[in-house]
């Protein structure tokens, strides 16, 4: 099952996700700033402690150096490193040393690795740089390394002087591991608070977004109802606010009310048109049936009065037969037209080509030239209604032609439409009766029923197609039909 694109998500979900994202991003930005600020503050405090420890040693170190009392120097470093929490020493000393101006070790916390009297030799590039900076300073400074990692440190460096004579430097290095743990705890607390506020903000954002989008959802449902033609069932959107959405709701209610009223009027007009069409058909049937019935009744009455008169029988029986067949044809055409209009049957496209032989056989004595061109795929199935449309148009064209006339049939596909054209070189259709061509029982032929083109029009309408007539007096007539179809290949 394909995952729907975010563009197709409901607006309430998009708005909720947007609010959640904004709250989350802002929360994490604020939390990051807080953690970084705390880290810098703790970092600076650790640097000050390292500097204070170095200065505390630097107070007594010059006198011990003048006495060459290296043991006292070592003890001062040892005592400084052994301070415990609660006595001002909640720090972790990594290393501490006292160097002379040449960089020789006067005292070191790790005397086994750094013997007294030898040059201090750092083996790393960073340590070498710190060593050079420490020997070169003449004012107390703080050196740092490691950034935000657990292995970083802060180092207090204090130069030693006696009577303004430079005697060496004190270096005390403190670990940031405890600072790192403190910063991590702070970050965890901030993260929990951020998640809490994100959840609260997201819940509130979801409630607010749904409340804001609710009128728009009603608008969407109303528009969908318009598309389905259900405006009469539309319930007005309640307007509680006077903001942009509120004004949109008011305008939409007005539009929907007008559309509902328009829809009701259209339905009333459609019903009136149906009644008018039914009245025309009823009047046409009554007129077409009453005319032969009157003659038939006269014939029957005459034969009843003279039952033994063979001449009257021979004279009136053909008239009765002709009148009854005319009534039968009228009723048959009406029933066939309505039956085909409701049919969903499909036939192969070759059924249309068989109409050529049928029309040619019906008019073989009239010398009618039939030009046939079917450019559609022979393996396609089409609605059976199209076969009746073609037959009625061809029959109507042939009946209007004099002997020696010409009828041209052309059918082809254009996209999802089937195009049918039937042309003749007959007398054409006068412009004053062109609007009546598709009315039931309207005909210009002596023996026509006036139902052929009416059936064609009804079938084309039932397929949501169009039919056009192009005709000029004495220049022939062309019927152009375009119907949307979904063709299927024959099995």
CA 321 remoteness from chain centre: 68
**Cβ contacts of residue 400 below 8 Å, gap of 6+?**
424, 426, 427, 445, 477
Average pLDDT of every residue of the chain: 78
Look at residue 85 in the predicted model and tell me its pLDDT.
41
Higher-pLDDT residue of 288 and 130 is: 130
What are the start and end residues of each CATH 3.30.450.20 domain in the chain? Answer: 6-183
Q: Which CATH class is domain 6-183?
A: alpha beta
**Distance separating alpha carbons of residues 328 and 250, to the nearest angstrom:** 60
Higher-pLDDT residue of 138 and 126 is: 138
Pairing of strands 141-145, 153-162: antiparallel
What are the start and end residues of each CATH 3.30.565.10 domain in the chain? Answer: 343-489
Pairing of strands 141-145, 417-424: unpaired
Residue 437 reports pLDDT greater than 70: yes
Which of 219, 226, 221 is closest to 245 using CA atoms? 219
- CATH number of this structure's domain 343-489, picked from the four choices 3.20.20.240, 2.102.10.10, 3.30.565.10, 3.30.70.1450: 3.30.565.10
Query: Mean pLDDT across the stretch 182-197?
Result: 80
Tokens of 127: 């340590």
Query: Mean pLDDT across the stretch 443-470?
Result: 78
Query: Mean pLDDT across the stretch 432-441?
Result: 73
Residue 291 reports pLDDT greater than 60: no
CB contact at 8 A, 325 and 353: no
**Distance separating alpha carbons of residues 301 and 271, to the nearest angstrom:** 43
Q: Which residue has the tokens 């810098």?
A: 40
Residue 140 reports pLDDT greater than 90: yes
């Amino acid at each position: 099952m394909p995952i729907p694109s975010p563009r197709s998500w409901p607006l309430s979900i998009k708005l909720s996700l947007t609010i959640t994202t904004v709250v989350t991003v802002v929360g994490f930005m604020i939390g990051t700033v807080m953690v970084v600020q705390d880290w810098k503050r703790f970092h600076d405090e650790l640097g000050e402690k390292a500097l204070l420890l170095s200065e505390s040693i630097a107070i007594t170190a010059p006198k011990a150096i003048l006495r060459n009392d290296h043991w006292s120097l070592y003890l001062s470093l040892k005592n400084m490193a052994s301070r415990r929490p609660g006595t001002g020493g909640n720090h972790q000393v990594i290393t501490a040393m006292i160097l002379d101006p040449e960089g020789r070790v006067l005292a070191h916390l790790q005397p086994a690795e750094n013997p007294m009297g030898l040059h201090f030799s750092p083996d790393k590039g960073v340590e070498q740089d710190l060593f050079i900076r420490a020997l070169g300073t003449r004012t107390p400074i703080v050196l740092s390394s490691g950034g935000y990692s657990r292995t970083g440190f802060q180092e207090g460096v204090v130069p030693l002087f006696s009577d303004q004579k430079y005697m060496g430097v004190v270096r005390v290095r403190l670990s940031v591991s405890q600072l790192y743990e403190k910063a991590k705890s702070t970050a965890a607390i901030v993260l929990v608070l951020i998640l809490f506020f994100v959840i609260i903000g997201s819940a509130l954002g979801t409630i607010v977004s749904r409340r804001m989008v609710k009128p728009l959802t009603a608008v969407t449902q109303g528009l969908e109802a318009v598309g389905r033609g259900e405006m009469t069932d539309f319930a007005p959107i309640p307007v509680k606010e006077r903001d942009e959405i509120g004004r949109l709701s008011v305008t939409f209610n007005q539009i929907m009310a007008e559309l509902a009223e328009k829809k009701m009027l259209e339905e009333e007009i459609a019903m009136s048109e149906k009644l008018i069409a039914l009245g025309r058909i009823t009047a046409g049937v009554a007129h077409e049936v009453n005319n032969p019935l009157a003659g038939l009744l006269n014939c029957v009455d005459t034969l009843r009065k003279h039952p033994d008169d063979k001449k009257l029988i021979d004279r009136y029986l053909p008239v009765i037969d002709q009148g009854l067949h005319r009534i039968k044809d009228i009723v048959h055409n009406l029933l066939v037209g309505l039956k085909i209009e409701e049919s969903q049957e499909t036939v192969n496209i070759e059924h249309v080509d068989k109409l050529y032989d049928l029309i040619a056989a019906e008019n073989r004595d009239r010398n009618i030239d039939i030009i046939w061109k079917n450019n559609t795929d022979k393996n396609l199935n089409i609605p059976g209604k199209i076969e009746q449309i073609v037959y009625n148009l061809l029959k109507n064209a042939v009946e209007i032609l004099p002997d020696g006339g010409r009828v041209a049939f052309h059918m082809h596909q254009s996209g999802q439409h089937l195009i049918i054209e039937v042309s003749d070189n007959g007398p054409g259709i006068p412009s004053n009766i062109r609007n009546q061509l598709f009315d039931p029982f309207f005909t210009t032929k002596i023996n026509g029923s006036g139902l052929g083109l009416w059936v064609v029009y009804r079938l084309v309408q039932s397929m949501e197609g169009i039919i056009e007539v192009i005709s000029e007096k004495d220049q022939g007539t062309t019927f152009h039909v375009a119907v949307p179809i979904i063709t299927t290949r024959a099995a």
